[in-house]
């Protein structure tokens, strides 16, 4: 039995030249009488095959080559062919395509976890006889405290070494200082900038007035949108980089509930640009779809259909 042609059985007398690289001599099955040729006569200059099978169906080791001039009798009776090369899985630039990382937070067993079954779409609607700005201020302040608390549960894992950039999936965020200069920073630095700046705003009586008779500034809505954008970045980073830790702490139900409430509130009052939240559209669709608890599909943040791009974006 030839190891190069396991499906063919023949007697010793029928043996000719074969490409079994494990043998002392290289033999290939020939019905006619052909001399045996030693391995020293083989050439590695090319992959021609001497097996009697049709071209492209050779099972022999293609790395061993035999020149026609070394085997004149075989060359006269049998066609020499090359087995087609295997297709490479590498990209044209020589790099193998990166395997898409599985998103654990999209697993059904985790997405259905909540700490309450309340319909949040009803909860975010502006109550009658309540001023819009008062409603925005009250909820924005609450979301700030809850996001800050949620992040604090995994803050020891979010270090400058583990999270060298403020990344969410394939998007990288930069902080912009008071002069508008873009600053590259680690994730914990970015979150610290967010919490410090938001804390400063929500405690400023000129921006978030708490005393009777004080008016909200004309730029209040734009400031609320800015705060919501930053809070979204923090929530998205927790999902993208620290969901395993959140899961280990059994706080994924709290995180999902907070995310649904926050996204539906932002949708209700158009506080988030769909392009900004597109990076988490897959999660938003699962958690906030009409088929699940926590609200309907609606329009606005997370339903822009932009989808995550295949390259790193900067914001």
Question: Nearest-CA neighbor of 62 among 84, 79, 41?
Answer: 84
Residue partners of 268: CB distance under 8 A and separation at least 6: 121, 124, 125, 126, 300
Q: Residue 203: phi, psi to the nearest 5?
A: -100, 0
Neighbours of 124 (CB within 10 A): 18
**Is there a binding annotation on residue 242?**
yes
**Is there a binding annotation on residue 254?**
no
**Residues annotated as binding site for Zn(2+)?**
158, 163, 237, 242
**Residues annotated as binding site?**
158, 163, 237, 242
């Amino acid at each position: 039995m030839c190891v190069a042609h396991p499906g063919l059985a023949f007697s010793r007398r029928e043996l000719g030249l074969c490409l079994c690289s494990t043998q002392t001599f290289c033999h290939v099955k020939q019905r006619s009488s052909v001399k045996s040729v030693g391995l020293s006569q083989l050439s590695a200059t090319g992959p021609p095959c001497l097996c009697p099978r049709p071209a492209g169906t050779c099972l022999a080791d293609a790395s061993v080559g035999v020149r026609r001039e070394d085997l004149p009798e075989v060359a006269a009776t049998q066609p020499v062919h090359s087995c087609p090369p295997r297709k490479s899985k590498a990209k044209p630039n020589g790099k193998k395509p990166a395997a898409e990382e599985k998103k654990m937070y999209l697993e059904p067993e985790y997405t259905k976890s909540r700490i309450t079954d309340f319909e949040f779409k009803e909860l975010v609607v502006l109550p009658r006889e309540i001023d819009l700005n008062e409603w925005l201020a009250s909820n924005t302040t609450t979301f700030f405290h809850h996001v800050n608390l949620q992040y604090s549960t995994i803050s020891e894992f979010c270090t400058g070494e583990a999270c060298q950039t403020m990344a969410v999936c394939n998007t990288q965020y930069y902080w912009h200082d008071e002069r508008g200069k873009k600053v590259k920073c680690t994730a914990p630095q970015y979150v610290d900038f967010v919490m410090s700046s938001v804390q400063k705003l929500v405690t400023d009586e000129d921006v978030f007035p708490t005393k009777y008779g004080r008016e909200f500034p004309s730029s209040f809505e734009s400031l609320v949108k800015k705060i919501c954008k930053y809070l979204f970045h923090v929530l998205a980073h927790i999902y993208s980089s620290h969901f395993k830790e959140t899961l280990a702490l059994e706080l994924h139900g709290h995180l999902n509930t907070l995310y649904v409430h926050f996204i539906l509130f932002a949708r209700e009052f158009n506080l988030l640009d769909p392009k900004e939240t597109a990076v988490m559209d897959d999660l938003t669709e699962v958690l906030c779809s009409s088929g699940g608890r926590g609200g309907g599909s609606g329009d606005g943040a997370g339903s822009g259909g932009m989808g995550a791009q295949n390259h790193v974006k900067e914001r």
